[in-house]
Amino acid sequence: MCRVLDTYIDINAPPERVWNVLLDFPAWKEWNPFIPFLAGRPEVGVYLRISVSPPGMKSLEFKPKVFVV
């Protein structure tokens, strides 16, 4: 089964700054407690490793495939 996550948001910052923050995977836990672990390379065809920690729930791990960068 393949699921696609597609989302949009307006951010008041230069695209280069946003991209650098998003690609700093080790720092995600500092600003996004919902996703405390993210590893892999942001390249088409690569599988990432993601840990999601919903408040009050058990953590879930995913291995999504990158389709577009």
pLDDT tens digits, one per residue of 24-54? 999 999 999 999 999 999 999 999 999 999 9
pLDDT band, residue 23 (cuts 50/70/90): very high
- The letter for the amino acid at 50 is I
Annotate 23-34 with b (16+ C-beta within 10 A) or e (fewer): eebeebeeeeee
Asked if residues 23 and 46 have their Cβ atoms less than 8 Å apart, the reply is no
- Kindly report the pTM of this predicted structure: 0.72
What's the chain's length in residues?
A: 69
Report the distance separating Cα 61 and Cα 38, nearest Å. 10
CA 60 remoteness from chain centre: 14
Residue 2 pLDDT? 79
